[in-house]
Structure 1
């Protein structure tokens, strides 16, 4: 907000520094609430210490509220347009009075931006493209930004004395990477009271509609939440129906019809209209001659046929993971040391860790020069000696150049236990160019894994136009593991292609792409995507025990 208002950049940077400091604190901030204690933390001055104390005690700060009152709400939406930073937005607001996306688009159409310093025809064209992209994603939200809010609503509803059962449904329950809203189903003997309670929760900003069977609200974060209330006997049928997907439900109703039954959100009925009593979704599936289909698979992509034939996969779980790769440390753009990353990994019950800082081409991320590589490898050797029951694998995330080559010579790559090859620049390619670039990188004998293979950023950037079929087939031929990057902003490889990789025997590495200790939590989102992709523990490389991983990397390394 300070940047949008054109505040002194030194003051702005002080807030960024303080935010990073607070994020990385090992102590409980609540125990450091005194201003004197806070001022002794590097990066926090007296003014910031006072504000932090105020936020801790009141939940907000007067300075924050004053800033918020000065900024038109629409300016925040402009920050989501690619290539439009706070400084440019501030200039647009001051010079042209632009305060929302519609006015910005109108100004671009009338070439008004060309009158401003730093805005050329190309910039204006890119802003129009950014607006189109923003509108494309309007009303959509990342799973990671919604899940916590939905869980809190579910917990609040379970507290109510007239709620028997309460569960999340819809695309959240199916673990879709992008969702439109929150669906919650409850059973109750007093629906009016429960609906009123839900509408009055502190998380709710606006009530869109309220009734005894459905109440819709908009949360303060701008996300719609729909509560559906049914009788206890209807709960299993309604849970299946409102979990979806629509395509899965249509296929299930069609199956029921062929069996002489009728199926809807209220129940399962025989030819005479008598309700078939089922106490759970599992019983509903059994009545229809099917194994229980996990929510993640309910997309009508072969799950009903597999359930009929007893061929549903035993889906991977977080407890199957034995270690993780794709970790960035303070050597490049991470915030934790190797030792801290090891300690966090061990705390989570894993017994190996693959360090893979950025390579030299990634200058924007402090990519490693040769002397830094030598220093890091020596440190890993020392830490491995200290931890004989744990293994730190030496790796690098090597940039794939435009011609498909990696940005270190073979003699450098040979020093690592594994190499993740990734594209971080030069995204403007044809499908043929992108596919050829990735395949050539996988043909490098030192490439162990292909990192975030399409380069997509969910709700932010489309992936480059690669032939996924050709890329996965090349991974099979080159014995390269494909990463499912578990960052909830990527989830790349897309789950829709995981099944094809599985069929070809291509192993998937479920990697957190962690730059902070807290980002090991990315594995939760990654597991959801892997399950949607029909992956079992055997299909995921890092479900293997440490000694097996050691053997594989040793045998896989280098020319064969």
Structure 2
């Protein structure tokens, strides 16, 4: 699913359903809380446009969506809102989006804070925490008040950022539109998008053009623009209808490389490059690398980096996490590419909570160039293992591994006995509920049939990260020969980049998988590749860059 509006529509529906669930939890309605939460999750991780599903009359075929919730989804799609949510919001007039983004604050806490202290907004919460009034409430205390206060700033930054996959199609559309203008020679998206950061706060675009004024006139009048913040001959800023700011800057060809380098790298990365320049009696800026008044380099990024004594640094690495020193020594990793991925080892079909049959998933995987795939439907849905295995054997488009995803229970045991799991070609073990994550993962990896730990931390972007001791998990996975997954779902990206780096450094293998629940979601693997690149992963670090025979040997060992 490439269309930005389709992505945003799915996000809107899931968001509204989740908010209804939050209000139901405030009311103490446990049954409806679970029902709306499950429906929201189905839409959130759906690999196709929810509007298309509704138009085809397939809403009621989706897991957890019956007549009542299907009608609610249709209302959201037709009106952009939900009357039920508006009624519920009238009962509790609080800014749930902001308050629930604070780690340690859930719907029940919001209810307590509103009823006892009249807290409605993030500012109210911060004020009452600083006045030490939260600690006096039942079930709170001094430690929880301090934790909430610490997490408020983090929540503010989280609210303003969007998942990378939601922003890239939007930035690409702007780039394509600008490239169509007469006199525009080059357009590049820079900033955190080019670095592949998991979330994006704004969009940075650089242009070379013969007529900058025409470029700025067009940019500030695009249909996507809601408000022009500032307009100038060389730089303009607009606020887009999706709520993001977008900066456009025009540069001359001879300095474009220096500008792209400057506006791509993190602040820390740019400081380090300027330090190197100064140590060589040079000066570096977005307008080039200078020795005195002479521009030494600037036309290309490689030219500037070479003049600084560095080999080319891929955009995803430009965070000042050791890549500059590695470039000076010629020891940068040969990063994994999407073209290196030969198979996909985590996906779901109609046998569990997927919405497409095995045949359709395999056919589309083949179109995407996959040589092999693993069906990994949830074990709890597979009533007849033999029928499942036979169905997998009948697939002809690609080579198929008949796998399974098994849930890791709270004590670290698996929901299915090892003797049954031995019948599958591949076993992905995952946690799908919070709590005790580190110990559960460590125990689950001890089970001999387990090959991959799926979405290891269980995080969802936009929510507080679960607490996991990843050093222990990575160390044990490396010892046992268990791969850790980079789940490519745009709302997960789990492992995150820093955890990938930790795994790579420890010699622990990773698997970059789509976790697709529909054909279209198989394409999401691109986001996992970007995350792995940010974690310095090379092809040999990734098990699904192997050919099928080598992979089968790895699984057998």
1:233 aligns with 2:250: no
The Cα shift of 1:484 comes to 1.4
Question: TM (normalized to structure 2)?
Answer: 0.77
1:384 aligns with 2:393: yes
1:35-67 Cα shifts (integer Å, max 9, x gaps): xx979999999xx99x98998xxxx75988999
Q: Answer whether contact 2:488 2:494 (CA < 8 A) is retained.
A: yes
Pair 1:181–1:73, CA change in 2 (3 A): farther
* SS in structure 2 of the partner of residue 378 of structure 1: helix
Pair 1:285–1:345, CA change in 2 (3 A): same
The Cα shift of 1:409 comes to 2.2
The Cα shift of 1:525 comes to 0.8
In structure 2, the residue matched to 1:425 is 433
Question: TM (normalized to structure 1)?
Answer: 0.77
In structure 1, the residue matched to 2:493 is 491
- 2:407 pairs, out of 386, 398, 405, with 398
Counterpart mapping for 1:372-521 below 5 A: 372-373=382-383, 375-387=384-396, 390-402=399-411, 404-427=412-435, 434=438, 436-468=439-471, 470-521=472-523
The Cα shift of 1:530 comes to 0.8
| Mean Cα deviation higher: 252-261 or 86-95 | 86-95
In structure 2, the residue matched to 1:282 is 302
Q: Answer whether contact 2:190 2:260 (CA < 8 A) is retained.
A: yes
In structure 1, the residue matched to 2:276 is 255
| Mean Cα deviation higher: 378-387 or 249-258 | 378-387
Pair 1:257–1:68, CA change in 2 (3 A): same
- 2:369 pairs, out of 336, 349, 354, with 349
In structure 1, the residue matched to 2:205 is 184
In structure 2, the residue matched to 1:267 is 288
* SS in structure 2 of the partner of residue 138 of structure 1: helix
In structure 1, the residue matched to 2:335 is 315
Q: CA RMSD in A?
A: 4.5
Counterpart mapping for 1:84-103 below 5 A: 101-102=122-123
Q: Answer whether contact 2:428 2:450 (CA < 8 A) is retained.
A: yes
The Cα shift of 1:551 comes to 2.4
Q: Answer whether contact 2:428 2:454 (CA < 8 A) is retained.
A: yes
Q: Following the alignment from structure 2 to structure 1, what is the Cα–Cα distance between the partners of residues 372 and 124?
A: 53
The Cα shift of 1:321 comes to 0.9
Q: Following the alignment from structure 1 to structure 2, what is the Cα–Cα distance between the partners of residues 332 and 236?
A: 49
Q: Following the alignment from structure 1 to structure 2, what is the Cα–Cα distance between the partners of residues 172 and 39?
A: 34
Counterpart mapping for 1:359-378 below 5 A: 359=379, 367-368=380-381, 372-373=382-383, 375-378=384-387
* SS in structure 1 of the partner of residue 520 of structure 2: helix
Counterpart mapping for 1:67-146 below 5 A: 101-102=122-123, 136-140=154-158, 141=161, 142-146=163-167
Structure 2: segments with no counterpart, 5+ residues: 1-15, 25-31
Pair 1:548–1:126, CA change in 2 (3 A): same
Q: Answer whether contact 1:352 1:393 (CA < 8 A) is retained.
A: no
Pair 1:243–1:135, CA change in 2 (3 A): same
1:329 aligns with 2:349: yes
1:194 aligns with 2:215: yes
Q: Following the alignment from structure 2 to structure 1, what is the Cα–Cα distance between the partners of residues 479 and 59?
A: 57
Runs of 4+ in structure 1 deviating by more than 4 angstroms, as ranges, are: 1-6, 23-30, 37-45, 51-55, 60-111, 125-135
Pairs aligned (count) = 519
Q: Following the alignment from structure 1 to structure 2, what is the Cα–Cα distance between the partners of residues 144 and 25?
A: 14
Over alpha carbons, which structure has the higher Rg? 1
* SS in structure 2 of the partner of residue 326 of structure 1: coil
| Mean Cα deviation higher: 523-532 or 90-99 | 90-99
The Cα shift of 1:200 comes to 2.0
Q: Following the alignment from structure 1 to structure 2, what is the Cα–Cα distance between the partners of residues 249 and 189?
A: 28
Q: Answer whether contact 1:38 1:44 (CA < 8 A) is retained.
A: no
Structure 1: segments with no counterpart, 5+ residues: 115-119, 360-366
